[in-house]
């Protein structure tokens, strides 16, 4: 999944002319995780600034639930970009692409 997130950010930059600095990051972690460490992990992995992070969503563990104590677990990360203009252009491009196969 990590490679897919980096690919998505690169795709936004190349094909939609969206600067990496315009994307936002939302982390979803569990209360047993070190929020600062995990934020730094994702920041380094994605090559983004701390100012691009929304407030981290922290989920409480319920009895019988699992724990992310393993070192290879880093919660989930969501890459977000909002723009009505870009969305309209993307939808139009996808429609033109699909129409080219139908017609």
This prediction has a pTM of 0.76
pLDDT band at 1 (very low <50, low <70, confident <90, very high): low
Average pLDDT on 15-41 reads: 93
Distance CA 33, CA 31 (A): 5
What the block records as the tokens of 100 is: 């080219």
Rg (CA), the chain: 17
Q: What is the pLDDT of residue 66?
A: 61
59-89 pLDDT, tens per residue?
Answer: 887 776 665 555 458 999 999 998 888 889 8
Q: Domain tally for the chain? A: 1
Q: What is the pLDDT of residue 65?
A: 62
Instruction: Determine the structural domain holding residue 86 and report its residue range.
Output: 2-102
């Amino acid at each position: 999944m990590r490679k897919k997130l980096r690919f998505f950010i690169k795709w936004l930059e190349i094909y939609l002319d969206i600067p990496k600095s315009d994307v936002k990051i939302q982390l979803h972690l569990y209360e047993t995780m070190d929020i600062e460490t995990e934020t730094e992990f994702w920041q380094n992995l994605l090559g983004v600034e701390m100012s691009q992070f929304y407030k981290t969503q922290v989920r409480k563990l319920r009895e019988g639930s699992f724990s992310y104590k393993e070192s290879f677990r880093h919660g989930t990360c969501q890459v977000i970009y909002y723009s009505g203009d870009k969305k309209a252009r993307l939808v139009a491009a996808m429609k033109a692409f699909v129409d080219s196969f139908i017609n």
